[in-house]
A = this chain, B = another copy of it.
Amino acid sequence: MIPNMKRHLLFLVVFLVGLGAQQVIADDGYRLWLRYDQISDNARLQQYRLAFQEVVLAGDSETSRVTGREIQKGLSGLLGKEIPVKSELSGNRSLIIGTPSDSEIISSLNLDKKLTSVGDEGFLIEQHRVQGNDHVVIAANTDVGALYGTFHLLRLMKTHEEVQHISIASAPKIQHRVLNHWDNLDRTVERGYAGLSLWEWKTLPNYEDPRYTDYARANASLGINGTVINNVNADPRMLTEQYIKKAAKLADIFRPYGIKIYFSANFFAPSRVGGLENSDPLNPDVQQWWKDKADQIYKHIPDFGGFLVKANSEGQPGPQNYGRSHAEGANVLAEAVAPHGGIVMWRAFVYSPEQEDRFREGYDEFVPLDGQFADNVILQVKNGPIDFQPREPFHPLFGTLPETNTMLELQITQEYFGFSLHLAYMGPLYKEALSADTYAKGEGSTVARVIDGEVFDYEHTGIAGVANTGRDRNWTGHPFGQSNWYLFGRLAWDHTQTAEGLADEWIRMTFTHDPDFVEPVKEMMMMSREAGVRYRNPLGLTHLYAQGHHYGPAPWTSDLPRPDWTAVYYHRADDEGIGFDRTESGSNAIEQYAPEVRDQFDEMGDTPLEYLLWFHHVPWDYQLSTGRTLWQELVHRYYQGVEDVREMREKWASVEGLIDKGRYRHVEALLEIQEEAALWWRNACVLYFQQFAGEPIPEEYEKPEHSLEYYKELEKTHHIARF
């Protein structure tokens, strides 16, 4: 026995070294939620090992091969043993994956009706008796559907769900589920806080960085099926053949994962890189140029998705430069890609300095154009009327464009939420936006049902998320930034899921199943968005940010090239009170909403407190339902925001030791930074508004550490690195 023992020990040592190495990988966050370490719950492990002794995979498309690689890697890791992938059924407890056309077994199960109901991208996961034994079957109409089903099963296993007698039918509610990368050709990322762009243009198309594949895997695991790879403030060179060829390589890598590539297009490309006199959409040469350009792109990228355009917005060129309408401009590009099955996503984010209320402008600009856009154009509308603020009422364009495909644009990168330095789980924000009721066709006409096409029966439906990814090893800088990428993808597939449920999934897949970790961390995530609202813009205040960087507070900002870039434009604080009157007595922006929505906002007394200052100029001594005056409530909420962050820090401190040291320390340090910022916001804003309120900060609150002058100075001297 002795030599045996020795060998045992040797194995043991090497095994531990091995685990050590694995640990390193496990901790740097690179694997995101796709970690295939052995299942920790032993009962589940045994059950899964029993249920999945082999994989039977039909089809030999590139996508099938991708599915095979993923399920082999996934099962072998989760079950801690090699699971064979075969083309023929031989075992008596197998996982069978395929489509009726590729797999005789699946075609024999008479799933046609069910499969029809899940469409091209959906899938079924069911237990079936085949050749006298029970097997789990993943069936779909397409290979991509089967891939989605495979990722879904792996997620169920990673979250230790029951798979006995499993019966799942799933299909996406929205067609175009797209990431928007604000990535420049020099690889800097606008509002990107996680390193340089993922796309290493210098080495494309020659070098296929393995990271491109892992990016595709991560998106496919959520059902994201499109990616706009360059900044909406678009460099026209993106449309030159040099870059089209580079992008074609990315498209080749993404294709098997069901992901299409889109370009942001500069509307002046015909004159800037095409050598034409102008870029007037009614100029036949310009129209021909876009057609030829589309043909060239599709020659290199046969499944090219189409264009995203930011036109006549923040200095970007557009059809209005030639006195043409947005519809006239969009339709030229739409016509160019239509023969190839492409679409144009046209951003509704427009505002001009002349307007007296920026809130109104998207609606005033686009509602008159309803019905004038080509069928393959989708209007891309941000969740709120201003610009991704911590809280906004829903955009009045949702529910008011019956004849215009309308999609929702959410921001995943935390431009107004503390960059990659603050923990801010977007679940509550996204759900708030999706479940807002437009009453377009009576109660229940939620934004979600508008963009999934139910309310107006749109030809194309879509949802876009401005990505927070970069070359940082963990993809998103803040370890919890990953949760917002995950959240976006999962909600894009099915917006009926809850923020809390998705947080729970993500935590278990990303960290651990230990309830002592999961519960406090879930609470921390769920409270984080409201905390961010409170220490920055409580009670419906908005856009109090220092310009340029949108990190620190500058409610005093008053002289900028455009009034609607200043803070005073938004808060309108004076000796009487504070807030932007958007009722009839003011800009009357509320008239853009359905009567039922208007009724929620037009009376100061009835307006929900979180939206109060969005719609009313409220006296400082106005008595609120909370029993406090407006001034007291404002102070209370700013202080509450800081307390929230302190509570988040306590919750995180309580989980020390339950996960790897690396990620624990990282988040710990970032929460420290977040509290500093929360204090900065609270003190700067309370001291600034106090000048107008002329009231003291109530006794019970700690005094701001410095004077208002100090914080004004800090805005100038405190340097926030862009990257």
Stretch at the interface among A86-94, A204-212, A324-332, A429-437: A204-212
Q: Which residues in chain A, 10-49, are within 8 Å of chain B measured between CB atoms?
A: 11-15, 17-19, 21-22, 24-25
* Contact call B13/A11, Cβ cutoff below 8 A: no
Whole-angstrom distance from the CB of A574 to the nearest CB of chain B?
34
Q: Which residues in chain A, 198-216, are within 8 Å of chain B measured between CB atoms?
A: 201-203, 206-208, 210
* Contact call A195/B14, Cβ cutoff below 8 A: no
24 pairs across A/B with beta carbons < 8 Å? Answer: A8-B8, A11-B11, A11-B12, A13-B80, A13-B81, A17-B18, A17-B76, A17-B80, A18-B19, A21-B25, A185-B719, A186-B721, A187-B723, A202-B419, A206-B670, A206-B672, A206-B673, A208-B665, A208-B669, A210-B662, A237-B719, A242-B717, A471-B471, A473-B473
- Given known contacts A24-B25, A243-B719, what 14 new A-B pairs fall within 8 Å (CB)? A4-B4, A13-B81, A14-B15, A14-B19, A18-B21, A18-B22, A186-B723, A195-B195, A195-B196, A203-B669, A206-B673, A207-B670, A242-B719, A471-B472
* Contact call B206/A669, Cβ cutoff below 8 A: yes
Instruction: List the B residue with the shortest CB-CB distance to A235.
Output: B719
Q: Which residues of B contact A17 (CB under 8 A)?
A: 18, 22, 76-77, 80
CA distance A665 to B210 in the complex (A): 10
Q: Which residues in chain A, 403-422, are within 8 Å of chain B measured between CB atoms?
A: 419-421
Q: Which residues of B contact A114 (CB under 8 A)?
A: none
How many of these chains are in the complex?
Answer: 2
CA distance A19 to B201 in the complex (A): 33
Q: Which residues of B contact A560 (CB under 8 A)?
A: none
Q: Does A2 have its Cβ within 8 Å of any Cβ on chain B? A: no
Q: Does A666 have its Cβ within 8 Å of any Cβ on chain B? A: yes
Whole-angstrom distance from the CB of A317 to the nearest CB of chain B?
20
Q: Does A703 have its Cβ within 8 Å of any Cβ on chain B? A: no
Q: Which residues in chain A, 466-488, are within 8 Å of chain B measured between CB atoms?
A: 471-473
Interface centre among A207, A473, A662 (most CB of B within 10 A): A207
Q: Does A722 have its Cβ within 8 Å of any Cβ on chain B? A: yes
CA distance A195 to B203 in the complex (A): 13
CA distance A202 to B662 in the complex (A): 18
Q: Which residues in chain A, 625-640, are within 8 Å of chain B measured between CB atoms?
A: none
* Contact call B11/A721, Cβ cutoff below 8 A: no
Whole-angstrom distance from the CB of A74 to the nearest CB of chain B?
13
Q: Does A718 have its Cβ within 8 Å of any Cβ on chain B? A: yes
Whole-angstrom distance from the CB of A659 to the nearest CB of chain B?
15
**Nearest 8 A/B pairs, CB to CB:** A18-B18, A11-B11, A207-B669, A21-B22, A206-B669, A187-B723, A201-B721, A186-B722
Interface string of A233-260 (1 = CB under 8 A from B): 0000100101100000000000000000
Task: Choose one: B11, B13, B207, B665; the contact of A82 (CB below 8 Å).
Answer: B13
CA distance A429 to B81 in the complex (A): 52
Q: Which residues of B contact A242 (CB under 8 A)?
A: 717-719
Q: Which residues of B contact A471 (CB under 8 A)?
A: 195-196, 471-472
Q: Which residues of B contact A243 (CB under 8 A)?
A: 719
CA distance A719 to B242 in the complex (A): 8
Q: Which residues of B contact A15 (CB under 8 A)?
A: 11, 14-15, 18
Whole-angstrom distance from the CB of A473 to the nearest CB of chain B?
7
Q: Which residues of B contact A8 (CB under 8 A)?
A: 7-8, 11
Q: Which residues in chain A, 214-244, are within 8 Å of chain B measured between CB atoms?
A: 237, 240, 242-243
* Contact call A185/B721, Cβ cutoff below 8 A: yes
Whole-angstrom distance from the CB of A423 to the nearest CB of chain B?
13
Task: Choose one: B187, B203, B472; the contact of A673 (CB below 8 Å).
Answer: B203
Q: Which residues of B contact A669 (CB under 8 A)?
A: 203, 206-208
CA distance A207 to B207 in the complex (A): 33
Q: Does A188 have its Cβ within 8 Å of any Cβ on chain B? A: yes
Instruction: List the B residue with the shortest CB-CB distance to A470.
Output: B196
CA distance A21 to B77 in the complex (A): 11
CA distance A665 to B666 in the complex (A): 33
Whole-angstrom distance from the CB of A2 to the nearest CB of chain B?
12
Whole-angstrom distance from the CB of A417 to the nearest CB of chain B?
14
Interface string of A333-375 (1 = CB under 8 A from B): 0000000000000000000000000000000000000000000
Known: A24-B25, A187-B722, A195-B196. A203 touches B18 (CB 8 A): no
Q: Which residues of B contact A77 (CB under 8 A)?
A: 17
CA distance A197 to B611 in the complex (A): 42
Whole-angstrom distance from the CB of A383 to the nearest CB of chain B?
26
Q: Which residues of B contact A25 (CB under 8 A)?
A: 21, 24-25
CA distance A288 to B206 in the complex (A): 56
Whole-angstrom distance from the CB of A80 to the nearest CB of chain B?
7
* Contact call B80/A202, Cβ cutoff below 8 A: no
Whole-angstrom distance from the CB of A346 to the nearest CB of chain B?
26
Whole-angstrom distance from the CB of A486 to the nearest CB of chain B?
22
Whole-angstrom distance from the CB of A183 to the nearest CB of chain B?
11
Q: Which residues of B contact A722 (CB under 8 A)?
A: 186-187
Known: A14-B80, A202-B419, A203-B669. A188 touches B21 (CB 8 A): no
Instruction: List the B residue with the shortest CB-CB distance to A197.
Output: B723
Whole-angstrom distance from the CB of A644 to the nearest CB of chain B?
19
* Contact call B670/A240, Cβ cutoff below 8 A: no
Q: Which residues of B contact A210 (CB under 8 A)?
A: 662
Q: Which residues of B contact A203 (CB under 8 A)?
A: 421, 669-670, 673
Q: Which residues of B contact A24 (CB under 8 A)?
A: 25
CA distance A3 to B455 in the complex (A): 64
* Contact call A207/B81, Cβ cutoff below 8 A: no
CA distance A673 to B210 in the complex (A): 18
Q: Which residues of B contact A195 (CB under 8 A)?
A: 195-196, 471
CA distance A15 to B186 in the complex (A): 43
Task: Choose one: B4, B21, B419, B666; the contact of A207 (CB below 8 Å).
Answer: B666
